[in-house]
Structure 1
Amino acid sequence: MPVSAKICGLSTPATLDAAVAGGASHVGFVFFAPSPRNVGLDLAAGLAARVPAQVRRVGVFVDPDDALLDAAVAAGRLESIQLHKTAPERVAAIRSRLRRDTWAAVAVKTRADLDAARSYAGAADRILYDAKTPPGAALPGGMGLRFDWALLDGFRHPLPWALSGGLDPANVAEAIARTGAPLVDVSSGVEEAPGVKDPARIGAFLGAVTRV
């Protein structure tokens, strides 16, 4: 099976177009004000209109309330909801109410952290394994951190899954070979500065995925 790729934190037409042209299966829009990748509703609507039918639009949230979810789903025409720092019960409630493909992010630093993935069985549609950020960090991801991929060795995934955290054009092929990830997710690894995506790096990342 070919590996799919999500380019997350897109905020300009040029970088969105680069993701689409490079063959991304998913494009991510961040709805979290502290993030340098945060998009407003009007910008999200404009970007969403550029996404062709074969590419899925993903909204990225940090324990959001219903008002933000409803506004973002409408503006971004979101097909998938990616939730960080959100309890399994809340993930299940969001999934039930919105009836959208729902991803639950699990922050990983040790093998024990993977156990949290099992709590989302029946609550989410997909697990996103991401690197755990330092205590007190303002952001739950997008900091270029990676975890030890060997932690996934022999782990029985409770749901379909994706790999994130510290991926870039230089290491994504190794990450896929090491983990067998069916879907990879990148944000800071294709940026020239926090929140500033580079079309050339997006193309290089997607090219590396395609060649696996």
Structure 2
Amino acid sequence: MAVEAKICGLSTPEAVDAAVRFGARWVGFVTYPPSPRHVSTETMRALGERVPKKVGRVGLFVDPDDALLDEKLATGALDLLQLHGAETPERIAAIRRRTGRPVMKVIKVATPEDLERGIAAYGSVADRLMFDAAEGTLPGGNARTFDWAILSGRSVPLPWFLAGGLTPDNVTDAVRMTAARAVDVSSGVESGRGVKSIELIRAFLARTASL
């Protein structure tokens, strides 16, 4: 069974089309203005319309208020909400109830204790988890890995994604070490900060399809 791959931080029709064409299971749109991958509401709407139903569309949010969630969800372009900030378990539960959308909470990992705390806090309120590197100036897309051995042999009660510094060159080792069945990439398929490479998207998805 191939590892599911999410290509995050997509901002152009060409990149979205490449992710779909080469086999991404998920595509991600960033709604965080400080990020070079941020897209406007109208761009998100247009990009989301290009995605076939077999591919899930994910919105990346950082501590969003209800008004922002309502604005982005009104585009009809989001199937899953990825929360990358300091959202509490109570806020996660409230967003799920209010929006009716499944929620993925990102856990920043630097130590085994980070992993355990994150699972304990969010394992009963989120629909999915994502484990990402704790270091970096942005909430995600910092091209930083963490010690994958922290996840080796660890049972997680929810479906989960591995993220943080993945590339076509290291994703095979990352999956073998962690047994991840879903991976997320953004900076690792870019030719420049925020600029997606069609060739790197193709290479990354070819690697995950073979795992």
Compared CA separation, residues 76 and 43, structure 1 to 2 (3 A): farther
Partner of 1:106: 107
The offset of 1:75, in angstroms, is 1.7
Alpha-carbon distance in structure 2 between the residues aligned to 1:158 and 1:107 = 17
The TM-score normalised by the length of structure 2 is 0.96
Query: How many residues are aligned here?
Result: 209
Partner of 1:190: 189
Residues 47 and 76 in structure 1, CA contact (< 8 A), matched pair in contact too = no
Compared CA separation, residues 76 and 190, structure 1 to 2 (3 A): farther
Instruction: State the identity %.
Output: 52
CA RMSD of aligned residues (A): 1.0
Query: Which of structure 1's runs of 4+ aligned residues deviate more than 6 A?
Result: none
Partner of 1:67: 67
The TM-score normalised by the length of structure 1 is 0.96
Q: Per the alignment, in what secondary structure is the counterpart of residue 58 of structure 2?
A: strand
Deviates more, 1:31-40 or 1:156-165: 156-165
Which segments of 5 or more consecutive residues in structure 2 lack a partner in the other structure?
none
The offset of 1:122, in angstroms, is 2.3
Give the aligned residue type for 2:110: K
Give the aligned residue type for 1:95: R
Alpha-carbon distance in structure 2 between the residues aligned to 1:158 and 1:88 = 16
Partner of 1:147: 146
Residues 58 and 79 in structure 2, CA contact (< 8 A), matched pair in contact too = yes
Partner of 1:174: 173
Which segments of 5 or more consecutive residues in structure 1 lack a partner in the other structure?
none
Alpha-carbon distance in structure 1 between the residues aligned to 2:153 and 2:200 = 32
Alpha-carbon distance in structure 2 between the residues aligned to 1:38 and 1:117 = 28
Residues 144 and 167 in structure 1, CA contact (< 8 A), matched pair in contact too = yes
